[in-house]
Amino acid sequence: MGSVVLSLDAELGWGFHDQESPPTDRVERARAGWKRLIDCFEEAAVPATWAIVGHLFLDDCDGEHASHPASGDWFAAERGRWRSRLDLRFGEGLIERIEGSPIAHEIGSHSFSHVVFGDADTTRTLAAAEIDASVELARERGVSLSSFVYPRNRVGHRDTLAEGGFVCYRGRAPARGLDDFAGGRPLRKLAEATIDAPPLVRPRYDEFGLVNVPASLYLFGFEGLGRSIAESVWDDPVVRAAKRGIDAAAEANGSENEVFHMWLHPNNLVTPRDVRRVRRILAYLDAQRTAGRVSVETMTEVAARTDRVR
Ligand SMILES: [Zn+2]
Ligand SMILES: [Zn+2]
């Protein structure tokens, strides 16, 4: 029996503050999606790892962050277009919702201000400042961070995570071997969602003593027209893919430490059909767990039972 992990990139406006034209629908639904997701997890009694942008732990700020080593305009959105959008800049009760849930969620980190660690321009000093600020703000709330999700999945400066006391991070999903798929990108995404079972992953210690818990499947990587066509012809292809992944975890040999790791953003829950997708996947997961076929774990729980010598 393998296990299933769900991780969330919880960021409100911070996932898009450096973009000139952010996706308005996702930004505006970010808070509602966050609350809806908490309800969905309660309904299925499924715990998740919430990787939260550290700035959301603040109640207010000057928009300057003078002691932060990011370049001058990094916090420009806070001082400009989102100056009055406190709802996009601060958590304002959303972290309390997670803490107040009867489900034992894990609170992890998604950096302090969504700096892309894997960018060539991101210095070690900047990465370390992001880690330190996140750890400190969480500590002030009595939260000890141990899981990290890299902004835009761009892994980098892993040594700063280890120094900050983190135990694990979400690594990139393994290549699917469909890169040469003849139909190009939209068709390849369709193929990934419908033909292949998404991969099980094997958490591993890295050279920094951190456990890499790679992703298996992004639940909202297949959107737009392709999704509409696929849903009109078949079932929601992502629900099918997620079920196949859960089934693969159920059939896994327990000694191999194989995990099915799904992820999404709370701001992916924009329309009722997005919510329906998540609820169907969680209901299936709940049923398989109740039948004793899979376990559900947080990233840190997976890391804790990963064998150091492997
Ligand atoms: Zn700020
Ligand atoms: Zn993000």
pLDDT in tens, 11-38: 999 999 999 899 999 999 999 999 999 9
Which of the ligands is closest to the CA of residue 148?
2
Q: Is pLDDT above 60 for 181?
A: no
The whole-angstrom separation of Cα 166 and Cα 148 is 7
CA dist., res. 114 & res. 14, Å (int): 6
* 270 has pLDDT over 50: yes
Q: What's the one-letter identity of residue 16? A: F
Residue with tokens 């890391």: 303
Ligand sitting nearest the alpha carbon of 152:
2
Contact yes or no for 262/214 (Cβ under 8 A): no
Q: What's the CA-to-centroid distance between 151 and ligand 2, angstroms?
A: 4
Distance CA 220, CA 238 (A): 8
Average pLDDT over residues 236-256: 89
pLDDT at 196: 66
Query: Which ligand is in closest contact with the Cα of 268?
Result: 2
Q: What is the DSSP string of 131-181?
A: HHHHHHHHHHTT----EEE-GGG----HHHHHHTT--EEEPPPPP-S-TT-
> 111 CA to middle of ligand 1, Å?
13
Taking the whole predicted model, whether its pTM rises above 0.85 is answered as yes
Q: What is the C-alpha to C-alpha distance for residues 98 and 293, in angstroms, rounded to an integer?
A: 27
**Would you say the C-alpha torsion 228, 234, 236, 238 has a positive or negative sign?**
negative
- At CA 34, angle to CA 24 and CA 146, rounded to 5? 115
User: Which residues keep their CB under 5 angstroms from ion ligand 1?
Assistant: 61, 78
Instruction: Compare 136 and 72 and report the one with higher pLDDT.
Output: 136
Beta strands in the chain (DSSP E): 3-10, 49-52, 106-109, 147-149, 168-170, 204-205, 211-212, 217-218, 259-264, 295-297
Segment 5-10 shows an average pLDDT of 98
Helix 184-194 and helix 224-233, axial crossing angle in degrees, nearest 10: 40
The hierarchical CATH code for the domain 3-304 is 3.20.20.370
Tell me, what's the pLDDT at 233?
A: 65
**Banded pLDDT at 186 (limits 50, 70, 90):** low
CA angle 55, 56, 58 (to 5 degrees): 70
Give residue 309 CA to ligand 2 midpoint distance, Å.
Answer: 32
Q: What are phi and psi of 145, to 5 degrees?
A: -85, 135
Q: Which ligand is nearest to the CA of 218?
A: 2
> Which bound ligand lies closest to the C-alpha atom of 52?
2
Cα 111 to averaged position of ligand 2 atoms, centre (Å):
9
Grade residue 171 by pLDDT with cuts at 50, 70 and 90: very high
Distance 60 CA to ligand 1 centre (A): 7
Question: Where are the chain's structural domains?
Answer: 3-304
Distance from the CA of 68 to the center of ligand 1, in angstroms?
A: 10
Mean pLDDT value of segment 76-105: 96
**CA–CA distance, 177 with 170 (Å, rounded to integer):** 20
Centre of ligand 2 to C-alpha 11, Å, is 6
The pLDDT tens digits for 91-128 are: 999 999 999 999 999 999 999 999 999 999 999 999 99
CA of 162 to the centre of ligand 2 (A): 20
> What pLDDT score was predicted for residue 225?
64
Q: How far is the CA of 179 from the centre of ligand 1 (A)?
A: 40
Asked whether 162 and 209 are in contact (CB, 8 A), the reply is yes
pLDDT confidence bin for 180, thresholds 50/70/90: very low
**Percentage of the chain with pLDDT > 70?**
88
